[in-house]
Amino acid sequence: MLTESTTLLILGGGPGGYVAAIRAAQLGIATVLIEGESLGGTCLNVGCIPSKALIHVADEFDKTRHFAANSPLGISVQSPVIDIAKTVQWKDGVVAKLTSGVALLLKKAGARVIKGFARIVDGKTVEVKPADGGDPWRIHCEHLLLATGSVATALPNLPFGGNVISSTEALSPATLPKRLVVVGAGYIGLELGIVYRKLGVEVAIVEAQPRLLPAYDEELTKPVAASLRQLGIEAHTGCTVRGLNAAGNAVRIRNLAGEERELPADRVLVAVGRKPRTEGWGLETLGLTMNGNAVQIDSQCRTSMRNVWAIGDLTGEPMLAHRAMAQGEMVAELIAGKRREFVPAAIPAVCYTDPEIVVVGLSPHEAEAAGLDIIHAHFPFAANGRSLTLESSSGFVRVVARRDNHLILGWQAVGRGVAELAAAFAQSLEMGACLEDVAHTIHAHPTLGEAVQETALRALGQAIHV
């Protein structure tokens, strides 16, 4: 068996793994990255990027249908149709462009990429089986970085297969079903449910919790719930899934009162979450300390074994690509001898529903639960000129700050296009900004960002436009 050695060996070429490889190579560290499938991981191939591509297509198609129904903008078109095969082809083209770009960046930095499947022998040795079926070989390393990501969670009574699909299959449909049932009303389920509805599919969503998007506070989710009703999406909250009916063409659900009913379905999307990818590559041989089903790490992404590191979804929540990227960059710099620690003031999270939701830092409830004396305020997009020109008046921006010194603790927003406010929100927390810092910064007019300034002004009792 052939053997070779390297300083840093990375398992997984997703956002965390490839960023770690690029940064390490830039710093002169001999780096090998092993990826069995496509570079970019779940996010780039079957997650963040393709879902946003389909969201864009669905929005554009929905607009044209709106224009075909006597739009108040004075635009009219003939009744539009969707060619889903061409849509998927375009989406795949976007993904291919980005994955090839990642490969070029890795090559430019000097990181070696091996397409194959890894199995850990010990903390310093990994056996690699090439994806092309060639003979396996062993790679020895000084540092081992685990970045294997996550997988979709299945339901015992609704296993994947046939017409029961995960988000992966939902992002590459060969055809559009007439009726789709989505199990799980988190951000993945709602994003894809809205996409399919805008493409003309009848959609029903089932959620075990009492309301949609249970990870977000109710004030933020109300505009989304209203949008679902306007789109004609059925929402069945407080209901558990019992499985398919005998014919396999309907989902059996039960509400809190014990009443059962069937929801007709040509296709069923199970989107009840994701779990760390811990199986199939020999993780158990290391005997690492675990945190539930995730690998436990410290503030430098070190595991319980010396020179074995872990980043991204493998280490649990929040399972966000940008968290993994930041962790990967940090680990590379630590290995290079730099002083780093992963202690972000906040990690932004965006839900690309219609309307979008963005949260950074603490909500009012979270701050109060932590025993903090706070002030909070919100500014409605109904009073924002740019929002009205986008035919959108629902939603708001909300800020949370300490009462004594006005230090900003958190931002939340719901509305059209608010995802682009995430950078300003996160930056204000990282820089330790106070309400006055934001309120006295001149914001461009007319922009959605003005709502950020207006929210800070309102928290200070100096509201101008509301």
pLDDT surpasses 90 at 123: yes
Residue 402, domain extent:
349-459
Assess whether 170 and 193 both reside in one domain: yes
> Residue 126 domain-assigned?
yes
Q: Which CATH number does the domain housing residue 368 bear?
A: 3.30.390.30
Whole-angstrom CA distances from 105 to 25, 34, 317 are 11, 15, 28
Give the model's confidence band at 276: pLDDT under 50 very low, under 70 low, under 90 confident, else very high.
Answer: very high
Is 68 in contact with 80 (CB distance < 8 Å)?
yes
The pLDDT, as a whole number, for residue 2 is: 84
What b/e sequence results for 43-82 when a residue is b if at least 16 CB atoms lie within 10 Å of its CB, and e otherwise?
A: bbbbbbbbbebbbebbeebbbbbbbeeeeeeeeeeeeeeb
CA distance 52 to 110: 31
Is 219 in contact with 359 (CB distance < 8 Å)?
no
Instruction: Give the DSSP H or E segment for 366.
Output: helix 364-369
Assess whether 261 and 300 both reside in one domain: no
The pLDDT, as a whole number, for residue 66 is: 85
CA distance 409 to 399: 8
> Residue 124 domain-assigned?
yes
Q: Which CATH number does the domain housing residue 180 bear?
A: 3.50.50.60
Is 253 in contact with 239 (CB distance < 8 Å)?
yes
Assess whether 42 and 174 both reside in one domain: no
Whole-angstrom CA distances from 311 to 16, 168, 297, 302, 334 are 7, 22, 8, 9, 13
> Residue 314 domain-assigned?
yes
Last residue of a domain, one of 250, 272, 294: 272
What is the average pLDDT across 370-378? 98
Is 51 in contact with 192 (CB distance < 8 Å)?
yes
The pLDDT, as a whole number, for residue 77 is: 86
Q: Retrieve residue 455's tokens.
A: 């929210």
Is 406 known to be catalytic? no
Count Cβ atoms within 10 A of the Cβ of residue 105 and give its class: 0-12 exposed, 13-18 middle, 19 or more buried.
middle
Last residue of a domain, one of 272, 291, 312: 272
pLDDT surpasses 90 at 295: yes
Q: Retrieve residue 149's tokens.
A: 């990501």
pLDDT surpasses 80 at 1: no
Tens-digit pLDDT profile for residues 301-339: 999 999 999 999 999 999 999 999 999 999 999 999 999
Tens-digit pLDDT profile for residues 54-77: 999 999 999 998 888 778 889 888
CA distance 14 to 51: 16
> Residue 175 domain-assigned?
yes
Assess whether 145 and 281 both reside in one domain: yes
Is 298 in contact with 134 (CB distance < 8 Å)?
no
Assess whether 14 and 121 both reside in one domain: yes
Is 311 in contact with 295 (CB distance < 8 Å)?
no
- What letter represents residue 134's amino acid? G
Assess whether 381 and 419 both reside in one domain: yes
> Residue 430 domain-assigned?
yes
What is the average pLDDT across 135-151? 96
Measuring CA to CA, which residue among 297, 269, 261 is closest to residue 146?
297
> Residue 77 domain-assigned?
no
**C-alpha distance across the termini of the chain, in Å:** 72
What is the average pLDDT across 345-362? 97
Count Cβ atoms within 10 A of the Cβ of residue 115 and give its class: 0-12 exposed, 13-18 middle, 19 or more buried.
middle
> Residue 55 domain-assigned?
no
Q: Which residues contact 34 (CB under 8 A, 6 or more apart)?
A: 9, 10, 11, 12, 13, 113, 114, 116, 117, 118, 126, 128, 139
Assess whether 14 and 140 both reside in one domain: yes
CA distance 107 to 111: 6
The pLDDT, as a whole number, for residue 70 is: 78
The pLDDT, as a whole number, for residue 456 is: 98
CA distance 271 to 344: 29
CA distance 200 to 260: 27
The pLDDT, as a whole number, for residue 101 is: 97
Assess whether 119 and 261 both reside in one domain: no
What does the mean pLDDT of the chain come to? 96
Is 182 in contact with 341 (CB distance < 8 Å)?
no
Q: Retrieve residue 220's tokens.
A: 């933020």
For the chain, the domain total comes to: 3
Residue in the block written with tokens 């009162």: 257
What is the average pLDDT across 427-453? 97
Instruction: Give the DSSP H or E segment for 423.
Output: helix 422-430
Assess whether 147 and 284 both reside in one domain: yes
Assess whether 34 and 127 both reside in one domain: yes
Residue in the block written with tokens 């988190």: 186
Assess whether 445 and 312 both reside in one domain: no
Is 14 in contact with 41 (CB distance < 8 Å)?
yes
- What letter represents residue 122's amino acid? D
* Marked catalytic residue, from 140, 143, 378, 445: 445
Q: H helices of 136-186, where?
A: 167-170
Last residue of a domain, one of 255, 272, 289: 272
Assess whether 168 and 120 both reside in one domain: no
Tens-digit pLDDT profile for residues 174-227: 999 999 999 999 999 999 999 999 999 999 999 999 999 999 999 999 999 999
